[in-house]
Amino acid sequence: MEPTVPREIARAILDGFDKHYRLFRESSARAKYRFVRGDWAGMREASVARIGMYDRRVVEAVEVLHTRFADVVGDEALWPEIKTAYIALLYEHLQPGCAETFYNSVACRVLDRRYYRNEYIFRRAAVSTEHLAGEEPTYRCYYPSRDGLRTTLHEMLRGFGLASPFQDLERDVRRILRALRAHFPAGWRPHDNFQLQVLSSLFFRNRVAYAVGRAINGADEYPFVAPLLRADDGSVYVDALLLKPENIGRVFSLARSYFMVDMEVPAAYVAFLQSVLPTKPRAELYTVLGLQKQGKTLFFRDLVEHMRHSTDRFAPPAGTPGMVMTVFTMPSFPYVFKVIRDWFEPPKDTDRRSVEEKYLLVKHHDRAGRLADTLEYSSVALPLARFEPGVVAELERVAPSQIEIDDEQLVLRHVYIERRMTPLDVYVQGAPEPTVRAVMDDYGAAIEELASANIFAGDLLPKNFGVTRYGRVVFYDYDEIVPLTECEFRRLPAVSGVGPNDIFPEELPQFLLPRGKARDALMELHPRLADPAFWVATQERIKRGFVDDPLPYPQEIRFEVRFAEAS
C-alpha cells in the first residue's frame, strides 16, 4: 500500500473537522450581531441548528472516506497508521482536542467496536492543549492601579465592540462600584499585580450577553460575571454584577441552553473558566460552550480514570424507580446512567422512539434552567464486576435489547447520562419546615418557568424533580413532556368527555403532594398553579410570541432592583 494513503485519509478527516469548526465559529460569532439587532428568534434558531452541525460534518467525512478510499478504508490494520498521520497534522493546530474527538466520531462509524482501543482511536489525548496561542488574545488585561478603577471599567465594557450604544455607561460603572463596595466592605489593598482579566468574547445566550472575568490581586483571584441586556430602544446596559460562586455557577448550569462564544482556541477559554468555576469539570465546561461532543469525550475519560482509582459499584440511586428508564449510579461518581426499558408497565403508554424524541426535544429547547441536560452514548463498555448483581439482573429483565455481556464487559447499546441530583421527594423527607418551604417555593417556580418557556412537564410529581448542589429544583423525567400550547386546560367539573390533552389544574394540589406542610407551602406560595386561568394566559402569551427567558441569577441582585435611582 502506498505510504501516502494513511496521510490522505487523515487529511480528509481533518478537513472535515476544520469545516465543522469554521461553521461552528461563524455561527457563534454572529450571536453578537443578533444581540445588537434584538433578533431573539434568530438566536434560538441558530442555537438549535448548531447542535446538529457536528453530526452532519461527521456523516460527510465518512461519505468522503467511503467514496475516495473505498478499497482500503475498511481495513482495520490501516487505522493505527492513519492515527499516527493524523497526530502529525495536529502540530500547531488550534483545536487539537476537538479534532481528536472528530477523528474518533469518524473512525467509530467505520471500525468495529472491538477496535475502540487507543492504537486505533484517541482513547487518550495525544496532543497537549496547554499554552496554545492563536492570532487573537483569549483575554484582555486591564490595570486599575495605573488608570483608576472607574476608567478601567469604562474601557473594559467598551472593549467588547458592541455596535449598540450603552444606555448610560457612567451609571452602570457607578453601580458596579457600589456592588463591589458592598461585597468587599473592608476594601482591599492593591498589590503590584492588581489587574482585571476579561475573556475577549462575550458569552451570548437567548437575550443576554455575559462578560466573564477575574480580578487578580496578590495571590488571590476573584471571579466575576457581568450580564448585559438590550433595552427596547436598542441600547445596552449592565444588569448586575455576579460575584458569589453559586450565582456564577447557575449561569453556567447545563440546565440551560449552550452559550454562543467566538473562540479561536477553545482549550484556552476552558482553562480560564476553570479558574472562575473551579468545581466544574472540563467536560461540563466544553459542553456549556456548545462543544458537547468534546464534553462527551472528556466525560468518558474522566469516568475511566475514576473507575481505575475507585472500587465501589454501580447500584440503584435513591428515589422511586422509574417506569420508563432503569437507572443506576456509582456512589463515588456524581452522575446517573439511564437506559430506556424495552417494555413499559401501565399506565405508561409510550415506546422507545417517543422517549428518544422527548430527550431530543429537551436538547433543542430552551431549558430555562429547569431541565437537566444529558449526554447520550452508544456502545459503552463497562467492567461487569463493577455492577451490583441486582442492577445487571434488572437490565436483563427490563432492557435486554440494550445490553450485551462481552467477556468481562457489560456493553450498553444506548444510555443517557446526567448529573446526579437529590430527588425532590427524598429531599423533603424529614426536612425542617424552613427548608421545605424554600424548596416548595422553587418547585412551584420551576413549574411556572417551564410553562413560560412553552414546556408542560406532564408528570409533575416531586419524584421526577431533583435538587441540585446549588439548591435549585430541576426536572429530569421527559417521557410525558409536551409543548404547553398543545395542552387543554379546563375547569372542573368537565361538562363533556375528557380528551387526551385535557388537564385540570384544580386537581394538581392533590395529585402532586399528600396533605401536609409541603402541599400547604406550595399552594400558599404558588396558588395560581391550581388556576386554569394562569395556564391559559401563559399559553396566550406564548402564542403572541412572548416566550420568557428567566434570568439565571436572583432578582434582588439586579441593579434596577438593588440600586434603583431617580431618573
User: Which residues form the catalytic set?
Assistant: 373
Residue bearing cell 463498555: 381
Hey, is 271 helix, strand or coil? helix
Polymer length of the chain: 567
Alpha-carbon dihedral of residues 424, 426, 432, 433, nearest 10 degrees? 40
Name the residue type at position 101: T
The 10 Å Cβ neighbour count of residue 514 is 7
Decide if 187 contacts 199 (C-beta within 8 A).
no
Hey, is 295 helix, strand or coil? helix
Contacts of 60 (CB under 8 A, 6+ apart): 16, 19
* Residue 186: burial class (beta carbons within 10 Å; 0-12, 13-18, 19+): exposed
Decide if 317 contacts 394 (C-beta within 8 A).
no
Contacts 24+ apart (CB under 8 A), 447-450: 447/526, 447/529, 448/526, 448/528, 448/529, 449/368, 449/369, 449/370, 449/548, 449/550, 450/368, 450/370, 450/371, 450/475
Q: Strand runs (DSSP E) across 153-297, as ranges?
A: 195-199, 203-205, 208-217, 220-230, 236-238
Contacts of 259 (CB under 8 A, 6+ apart): 203, 204, 205, 210, 288, 289, 290
Alpha-carbon dihedral of residues 433, 435, 441, 446, nearest 10 degrees? -140
| 493 cis-preceded (ω within 30 degrees of 0) | yes
Instruction: Report the DSSP pairing between strands 195-199 and 203-205.
Output: unpaired
- How far, in Å, CA of 406 to CA of 409, rounded? 5
φ and ψ at residue 314, rounded to 5 degrees:
-65, 130
